[in-house]
Amino acid sequence: MNYEIKGISCVQFDENRIVSGSSDKSIKLWDIRTNNPLAVMTLLGHSGTVRCLQLNGSRLASGSNDHTLKMDDEKIISGSYDKTLRTWDLKTGQQSATFSGHEGEVLCLQFDRRKLISGSSDRSIRIWDLRTQIAGMILHNVHAKAVTCLQFNETQIVSASFDCTIKVWDVRTGRCFRTINWKENEGHTGVVRCLQADRWRFVSGADDKTLKVWNLNTGERICTLHSHTDGVTCLSFNDFRIVSGSYDTCVKLIMQSCSSEKKIGFSDSTVTLIAQGAEARIFSTNFYGKPAIIKERFRKKYRHFALDELLTKERMRAEIRGLMHCRKLGIPVPPIYFVDSKQNSIIFGAVEDAITLKNLLDSMHEAGAVVDLVDNLALTIGQVLAKMHMNGVIHGDLTTSNLLVKRPLSADNCRQIVLIDFGLSFVSSMVEDKAVDLLVLEKAFMSTHPNAESFYRTILDAYAKFYGKQGSEVLVQLEQVRLRGRKRLIVD
């Protein structure tokens, strides 16, 4: 969309709308769904360039040179060279609130449900109460020059400036407890133009042509990225990639390539595609020095978008719940390093020196396995499954591919069984659910390991012995479930 005559100074978007602020003092709202080249709504009120804005769900905020800030429900908040912040009602297009007090241009802002924080060329940061529209805290002379960008969470504010420094503040007391500069921290040597933070790190971009990634809690520099030939003006990131814009007129997508290898964690770690199924892609990588696995659930085009999103989120939640339950119980499962709900991916600790039970049984059958080794392995699997069911965890997809066996393997060391892939897991105390869980494993043995009937029988015996009385009840119910399946086959 290139329909504004004056320069566009800021932009935000969500699933349905694009909002832009301009040096012509206006804010324009565009409907993405209709692809209409004409703005759906034009918001007028600032007397200077609209320098910053935030659209957060149904809210939009703006700031200006007129020294004020404005906002409400279903709105935008904008900041401007007119020194004001303003809130706009997106239903009516009218201003609903004005925040005045800055003595210089409003250059940056961010807000949540309770507060709005703004930074200005007057070198101050103001923390506004959205209900009263009063600045409950004013931090004066926070930098030697204008505040160019800021981010905040429940406890901290991160600000950057024309003075090339980045500072971290206690949001409750207003105390600065960390300063990042080029001398002591290998910080930026140019004006810091943009920031974005998540719970544990933040990324900054500057006129020195670099992007830098920092640990939010320690201030440690994680890495420096040299991707542009001119100053970096804007950026956005998630756990897998950074998108940045620059005065060099390029938009760069960093940490991703079009091959099976890409980058992660804003380091030199390579991510290699190792498997792909119907529901997810599996990558191997290093997560800050630790071997890791990424499970990325991709969009299924054969399903309606809303249904696909619902199922994907539910399976991610189920996987996390199942893994956390098992870890509390001492059942061997991979540790969770990171969850990216936007990318529908989970980063797990890699299970090193392990082989799937499926591949192990195939190799043991070909080599002629030692009887003691086979029995001890089946015994361990039965005990692990019993412990899981005793505590109400139903795996939902027990197959020989979802059981890992750690090596080296011997008759005396068969106790390293690791369960994976809990995407269909749930919690239940019903004997029926436990029996169906075992039936899934039984069908996996029948379809891929027809010669392993005695191995599976040993698993069930160990399961019943470890579980006790209810374990025997589960096996009785398992026989009932089998019979129901056979009757259906006969009817068909």
3-class SS of residue 461: helix
pLDDT score of 372: 58
Q: Give backbone dihedrals phi and psi of 90, rounded to 5 degrees, phi first.
A: -75, -15
241 and 379 in a single domain? The answer is: no
119 and 244 in a single domain? The answer is: yes
Residue 262 lies in a domain: no
242 and 133 in a single domain? The answer is: yes
State the angle between helix axes of 431-448 and 453-467 in degrees (0 to 180), rounded to the nearest 10.
160
Number of domains into which the chain is organized: 2
Residue 298 lies in a domain: no
231 and 375 in a single domain? The answer is: no
Residue 241 lies in a domain: yes
pLDDT score of 368: 56
Residue 123 lies in a domain: yes
12 and 139 in a single domain? The answer is: yes
239 and 380 in a single domain? The answer is: no
216 and 359 in a single domain? The answer is: no
pLDDT score of 267: 45
143 and 33 in a single domain? The answer is: yes
90 and 220 in a single domain? The answer is: yes
Residue 221 lies in a domain: yes
pLDDT tens-digit readout, 251-262: 676 654 323 344
Which H or E element spans position 445? helix 431-448
Low-confidence ranges of the chain (pLDDT < 70): 1-8, 14-15, 35-39, 56-74, 239-240, 251, 253-270, 365-373, 408-415, 485-492
CA distances from 213 to 83, 87, 245, 420 (A): 31, 32, 16, 32
CA distances from 149 to 84, 118, 273, 466 (A): 16, 9, 37, 60
CA distances from 225 to 210, 229, 240 (A): 6, 12, 14
pLDDT score of 178: 95
Residue 89 lies in a domain: yes
Which of 235, 255, 275 is where one domain is finished? 255
pLDDT tens-digit readout, 262-319: 444 444 456 788 888 888 999 988 887 788 999 999 888 888 888 988 999 999 999 9
Give yes or no for a contact between 247 and 205, defined as CB atoms under 8 angstroms apart: no
Residues with catalytic function: 397
359 and 484 in a single domain? The answer is: yes
pLDDT score of 492: 46
pLDDT score of 205: 93
Residue labelled with tokens 């990131």? 237
* Domain extent for 455: 354-489
Which of 255, 286, 315 is where one domain is finished? 255
Which of 255, 277, 312 is where one domain is finished? 255
CATH number of the domain at 241, please.
2.130.10.10
Instruction: Return the closest-CA partner of residue 239 out of 217, 210, 261, 262.
Output: 262
pLDDT score of 390: 96
Residue 273 lies in a domain: no
pLDDT tens-digit readout, 42-82: 888 888 888 887 776 544 555 555 444 443 346 788 888 99
Residue 187 lies in a domain: yes
Q: Give backbone dihedrals phi and psi of 328, rounded to 5 degrees, phi first.
A: -65, -30
CATH number of the domain at 462, please.
1.10.510.10
pTM of the full predicted structure? 0.49
